[in-house]
Amino acid sequence: MSSTALALIQLGAVFFTLGILGRLAGRVGMSPIPLYLIGGLCFGEGGFFKLGDIGEFGHLASEIGVVLLLLLLGLEYTASELVTGMRKSWMGGVLDIVLNATPGAVVALVLGWGPIGALALGGVTYISSSGIVAKVLGDLGRLGNRETPVVLSILVFEDLTMAVYLPILTALLAGVGFVGGLKALAISLCVVAAVLVVALRYGHYVSAIVDSKDREVFLLKLLGAALLVAGIASALQVSAAVGAFLLGIAISGSTARNAAKVLEPLRDLFAAMFFVVFGLNTDPTTIPPVLGWAVLLAVVTTVTKLLTGVWAARRQGVARIGQARAGAALVARGEFSIVIAGLAVSAGAVEGELAALATAYVLLMAILGPVAARVVEPVARLALRLVPPAGGQSPVRAQE
């Protein structure tokens, strides 16, 4: 059998299996990310069957998946929303960094992975999965809830933090040193500032350039612009993912809404490949030695995310049940955590065990996050009945 025929068969089997896994995840009401990672583990290094002829395509597809994930995320926000969100949520965002990055950094240092490993694992445990959070809020009908703007503000702060964090991590992983890291940070901040200015003042021009009534032309211009910007950003030592995110911010109005509809199927396809490829490159036999650390991090960072959401929602005057919902909504980790771990491992500057720990951690958190969001309200209501608020108020209704 020719190598081309074998590659087509393997690729077809991968896509078909992903479809089955995605449908299974939908049936049980969970994110498909854990199943995609497990699928990659089963058919990668040390798995049941090794796929050898689709590696190059899979790597490129996974890179495109990251670009599209961040482009679609950027399309959800406007520059003005980002600025407003930053003003409202910066204190909660700083608390989020301290509470949720610290456990990962400490564990990396304990395991002897050094400062760069601590920076990478701290990022893995810090950032919530915007994709999973958005899906859960939509599925549970909470998009109009009073605590939802608080949750979205925290997510916006995290995304902007990534615009600063990723260039620093990428520079350090490349071994450019402290001065090179400062240079990368300066370039990143200049690029972010320039894009925000363009988006605020001239966003309609950017939208007009990529817009088209013809869906085919519209898709080609969008995808081409995203890959161009991502490539240029990467050449400037700014993360390609951040470049795509900033392009999404610059596109606004009806163009952004249409772009999201056109790109969603492509994003889902290539993003699925990204998670599979990460699993393919992770040896499942390396997970058991770090599983205990992954469980410990899952428990600790679930609590710290809950505290983050509760504190931020309380500052905005949200009642107790809403505070609990806000905290639980932020628990899930997913795409960005894997992106960070993938950058670190592919650069070869950190221990290979980091990939195994990140995989196990994201598997746990991607499952635990949606579950926590679903059960937090009845648990909070029960707690309020057992321990009513001070002042003799009506048990639950006053806490809505």
Q: How far is CA 66 from CA 21, 315, 341, in A?
A: 20, 34, 13
317 part of a folded domain: yes
Q: What is the DSSP letter of 388?
A: P
Give pLDDT tens digits for 348-359.
Answer: 656 668 888 988
Confirm whether pTM is higher than 0.85: no
67 part of a folded domain: yes
353 part of a folded domain: yes
**At 176, is the pLDDT very low, low, confident or very high (cuts 50, 70, 90)?**
low
95 part of a folded domain: yes
Tokens standing for residue 94: 């700083």
396 part of a folded domain: no
For the cut 80, the answer to whether the pLDDT of residue 337 exceeds it is yes
| Angstrom distance (rounded) from CA 81 to CA 249 | 10
98 part of a folded domain: yes
pLDDT for 48 equals 60
Give pLDDT tens digits for 127-153.
Answer: 998 767 877 777 777 867 888 888 878
CATH no. for residue 109?
1.20.1530.20
Q: Alpha helix (H) ranges present in the chain?
A: 3-28, 33-42, 55-75, 79-110, 114-126, 130-139, 148-173, 177-210, 215-235, 240-250, 253-280, 288-315, 320-329, 335-347, 353-386
Half-sphere exposure for 175 (CA within 13 Å, toward CB): 4
Mean pLDDT of the chain: 80
Domain that holds residue 154: 10-383
400 part of a folded domain: no
How many domains is the chain built from? 1
Give pLDDT tens digits for 9-67.
Answer: 877 888 888 888 888 887 877 778 778 878 777 776 655 666 665 666 777 777 788 78
397 part of a folded domain: no
